[in-house]
Structure 1
Amino acid sequence: MANQTEVFLSEQVVVLCSCALSFLGSSLIIITYMTWSDLRTTPRRLLVWLSVSDWLSAVSYAYGVGKVFHSDSVDCVVQGAISTFANTSSFFWTVAIAVYLYMFIVRSNKRGADSLVWVFHLVSWGVPLAITVAALCLDKIGYDASEVSVGWCWVKIHASDHVLWMLLTGKIWEFLAYVTLPVLYILIKRHIHIAHAALSEYRPILANSSTAQSFSSMADMKLTMIPVIFIFLRIWSTVRFILLLANSTARQHPVLVTLHGIGNTFQGAANCIMFVLFTRPIRTRLCSALCWCCPRCTSNQSTTDPTEAQAQR
């Protein structure tokens, strides 16, 4: 029988807070998309579907870490199945957004990028669903003794082929995302930098060039931070998985367990910070809605983010 990683109350509280922030962040992305029709670009629509996956992940993980399962109960299996599907779907949607931006920006093929949307749905929902159903039918989802989780259920730790199913239900897609996301975003950034360099001689005569340059810097920062944040959040679960393979008790260290819990549950909040709070047209509209008495909130209402404008063209 495998050892069990103890989940302390402090770890539960921290991870539950992370789940709550991710729940709120994912909900805010969905609500803003539904509220303002002029912001319904294809990239933001893909972000909404990613947020649906992150929303499901946050809810299922919150239930698991709040209860801290100790056996293969029915709710353990249900929670494990939902989190497996949602977490795997989140990987696919994250990569799908990068592929869309690559096709749209680097290849300058908006029609080709838009034609991939149905493929994204087929793959990002279909593959995780097929894997989850297969794992359920073969009785692989259940109690994992928190050895590669933080109280929630995933792949049964006592299954003889648990490593294979951990790879199929998440880790192999996580590893692929680690490679794919940096490559695609580096190519996108390189293309944008080349385009900016080609226009550099005209910048002195352009109106509001300083404002445009600040917008460009913000867009550039986003392209840099997307893969960095993804890897930083997900790397802790990967470290614990590798330590499990090495049979190292370091995987049970409270700090590592806490970082794993935050990393697996904070993606929705991170996306909200990047694409809502750091996106000026949405931020100013939220400011107008929540702080209607503040004149500064409405003064910049008409200002647009060049990344949003580019996506709408």
Structure 2
Amino acid sequence: MANASQTQTEVYLFEQVIVLLSCALSFLGSSLIILTYIIWSDLRTTPRKLLVYLSVSDWLSAVSYAFGVWSVFRTNSAECVAQGAISTFANTSSFFWTVAIAVYLYVFIVRANQRVADSLVLVFHLVSWGIPLGITIAAVSLNKIGYDASEVSVGWCWVRINVKDRVLWMLLTGKIWEFLAYLTLPFLYILIKRHIHIAHAALSEYRPILANRPPAHSFSSMADVKLTLIPIIFILLRIWSTVRFILLLANSNVRQNPALVTLHGIGNTLQGAANCVMFVLFTQPIRTRLCAALTSCSQCRTEAEHPHRLLPEQDAPARREEDSAEGGRADR
């Protein structure tokens, strides 16, 4: 770390183009999540509302990162500080909302307590907006946000590279929450998947009856896929930022490798697009409605006339089957 303030990572034009494209995809993806929530009132479940709050953070991240990548700041200008503050707040908020959704689903599905899960929403707001805002205000007030020589960014501004306690502020303004998300998300989603699989096993004697309901099975399979992909995609996107941070601590020049810098840029900016793919394009009821709205395809219109109702997120037919299982056990 001794020489960190004396170096600078060069951001090449091809890296700018790729990362700006990633920002554009996240901007569009986050916007689509928000618009579908606004347009179709029957899709406004609490988990999808939490997803909208996450999408607001991802939208803000995409815009602020795009401005930073386009500008490739070289000094601690007012624009640099403003961009760094906005991206710091939005990025940290995104971590909190991602974990908040996992906590909600855990309480709702595993603990089977919707009342408690819904009561946590206010806490999620206080934590997911309040903590990032407090940290960002403190960092700006103490002149910690500014030009970082792209050592742990890709053109945008973050923690000033020349402050003595930069590692502490890098942790507070993002990295510590990133590390906690790496641990929390896989743990919670593994518990949720395990609970759903146990519920499925308990329904084995009813399979001949449920076999006549292929849509539910299809939804359940997709829910299982999503529960697997959510933590995996999050880690795959964010790990490159973590790797560059660790390399900075080790004062390794590998952090300046163009491929690693590009992956970092994509990972930090693509979360909104990834969420859109999973929760819009891979969610059949919403995909059907979008298809019907955007095309005159007769098949789309037919499907739109008989949509499968979207259950409380993660396409929760697993919860429906779980309820059936509990009812069956109660009857016995």
Q: What TM-score, normalized to structure 2?
A: 0.92
1:7 matched to 2:14? The reply is no
> Match for 2:263 among 232, 245, 259?
259
Query: CA–CA distance in 2 between the matches of 1:46 and 1:263?
Result: 22
Deviations 1:69-109 (A, max 9, x none): 00000000000000000000000000000000000000000
CA distance in 2, matches of 1:143, 1:47: 32
C-alpha deviation, 1:307, in angstroms? 5.7
Asked if the contact 2:30–2:273 (Cα under 8 Å) also holds between the matched residues in 1, the reply is: yes
The answer to whether the aligner puts 1:95 opposite 2:99 as a matched pair is yes
Q: Matches of 1:303 and 1:201 in 2, distance apart?
A: 28
Q: What corresponds to 1:300 in structure 2?
A: 303
Runs (4 or more) in structure 1 with deviation over 3 Å come to: 305-313
Amino acid at match of 2:303: N
Distance 1:58 1:7 in 2: 18
Match of 2:39 among 35, 39, 61: 35
Structure 2 unmatched runs, 5+:
321-332
1:43 alignment partner, SS class: helix
Partner AA of 2:50 in structure 1:
L
Q: Distance in 1 between matches of 2:210 and 2:175?
A: 48
Matches within 5 A, 1:5-154: 5-154=9-158
Distance in structure 1 (CA, Å) of the matches to 2:6 and 2:269: 25
Find the counterpart in structure 1 of residue 246 from structure 2. 242
Structure 1 CA distance for aligned equivalents of residues 301 and 163 of structure 2: 58
Which one is further off, 259-268 or 201-210?
201-210
Deviation per residue, 1:87-144 (Å, 9 max, x gap) = 0000000000000000000000000000000000000000000000000110000000
Name the SS of the counterpart of 1:108 in structure 2. Answer: coil
Segments of structure 1 that go 5 or more residues without pairing to the other structure are: none
Q: What is the number of equivalent residue pairs in this alignment? A: 312
* Residues 230-276 of structure 1: CA deviation (Å, up to 9, x unaligned): 00000000000000000000000000000000000000000000000
Identity %: 77
8 Å Cα contact 2:223-2:316 kept in structure 1: no
Query: What amino acid is aligned across from residue 297 of structure 1 in structure 2?
Result: C
1: CA distance between counterparts of 2:6 and 2:302?
A: 60
Relative to structure 1, the CA distance from residue 208 to residue 300 in structure 2 (aligned partners, 3 Å threshold; closer, same or farther) is: farther
Quote the Cα distance in structure 2 between the aligned partners of 1:259 and 1:29. Answer: 24
Range with greater deviation from structure 2 (208-217 or 126-135): 208-217
- 1-structure distance, mates of 2:198, 2:301: 35
The offset of 1:299, in angstroms, is 1.9
Q: CA deviation at 1:53?
A: 0.2
Q: 1:208 to 1:303 in 2, by over 3 A?
A: farther
Counterparts in 2 of 1:208-219, with a 5 A limit? 208-219=212-223
Residues 203, 209 of structure 1: 8 Å contact kept: no
> Could you tell me which amino acid in structure 2 is paired with residue 215 of structure 1?
F
| Residue 213 of structure 1: how far off its partner (Å) | 2.1
Worse-superposed segment, 227-236 or 207-216: 207-216
**Pairwise CA RMSD of aligned residues?**
1.4
TM-score when normalising by structure 1: 0.97
Deviation of 1:208 (Å): 2.7
Aligned counterpart, 1:184: 188
